[in-house]
Amino acid sequence: MKARVTIMLKDGVLDPQGEAIRHALGGLGFGGVEGVRQGKVIELDLAATDADAAQAEVARMCESLLANTVIEKYAVEIV
């Protein structure tokens, strides 16, 4: 079973990398981009066979290590 975790900065947290991307896109002629938020995606291969248990386990991984929950939000998808 695979899990995909998407981690993004919470709304209201400054995203300097996203702003740098937005600026670079403008420099390349993509003037219609008004904002960019960048994040990360982590894919996990799990031994679990129960999707609900896997979802809960990955959420615990995010809370413990994968995401800085003070400034980041995460979403877990079992695929």
Q: Per residue in 2-17, pLDDT tens?
A: 999 999 999 999 999 9
Reference 9, options 79, 78, 52, 18; nearest CA is: 18
Does residue 10 fall inside a structural domain?
yes
Torsion angle, alpha carbons of 64, 70, 75, 76, to 10: 0
Does residue 56 fall inside a structural domain?
yes
In this prediction, residue 48 carries a pLDDT of 93
Does residue 34 fall inside a structural domain?
no
Alpha-carbon separation of residue 53 from 7, 40, 49, 50, 60 (angstroms): 20, 23, 8, 5, 11
Number of domains into which the chain is organized: 1
Average pLDDT of every residue of the chain: 97
Structural domain boundaries, residue 70: 2-28+49-78
**Would you mind telling me the total number of residues written for the chain in this entry?**
79
CA dist 69 and 57 (Å) reads 16
Q: What is the DSSP letter of 10?
A: P
Q: Per residue in 37-62, pLDDT tens?
A: 999 999 999 999 999 999 999 999 99
Tell me, what CATH number does 21's domain have? Answer: 3.30.1280.10
Does residue 33 fall inside a structural domain?
no
